[in-house]
Each structure stands twice: as structure tokens, then as C-alpha cells.
Amino acid sequence: MSIIESRKSNSTLKVKILNNFNLLTRNKIESRLTKEIKELEIDLSHCKLLDSEAVIFMYHWNKSGKELNLINPPEILFEILEILELSDIWQLNYTETKS
């Protein structure tokens, strides 16, 4: 069973997380990143569990000057950011499409 779906379009990689965002998911996304990719869009609409591997990956990606957009991040992500004291230093771009 796939754990992500991804689609490249010019310099953007759009990723849909189908289950959890963890070490395996991170590695899968990394394997699809090429030099040309400057923007990463991650759809978390179906992601319930997300751990520090996911957060660290996204943080490093974003802090390296590349763009990151999240769609429907789960509430727990923001709690993890608080716990790791990232909330004040990392402005996440995200869109809520769920009602």
C-alpha cells in the first residue's frame, strides 16, 4: 500500500500523505525530491499521526530557503511545535480546506 501520492509540476512537488507522517514517509518524500524542486506542498488532510521526524524534515526544508505549504495540518502539529519551542521562530504556511 502506498503511503504517499506525489506529483511534480515544474519546480513544485505536491505530496499527499495517505496515512502517518513519520521516518518512512520522510524518506519517501526525500527520495522524490530533485534539485529542481524549490517548493513543496504537503497535503495532510488524511494524516492523523505525525512525529518529530516529520517536523524536523519540514523545518530543515523551509529553513534552507525553499517554500513549504501545508494543507489541513492536524492540530497535533501545532502542539508539537509548541513543545519543541518552534512556534515563535518558524512561521508555517498552511491552508485549511476542511470545514
Residues that bind another protein (CB under 8 A): 3, 19-20, 22-24, 27, 48-53, 55-56, 59-60, 63, 76, 80, 83-86, 89
Nearest-approach distance from CB 5 to another protein, in angstroms: 16
Nearest-approach distance from CB 10 to another protein, in angstroms: 28
Instruction: Count CB neighbours of 5 within 10 A.
Output: 11
16 and 46 in contact (C-beta within 8 Å)?
yes
Nearest-approach distance from CB 74 to another protein, in angstroms: 8
Q: Which amino acid is at 93?
A: N
98 and 72 in contact (C-beta within 8 Å)?
yes
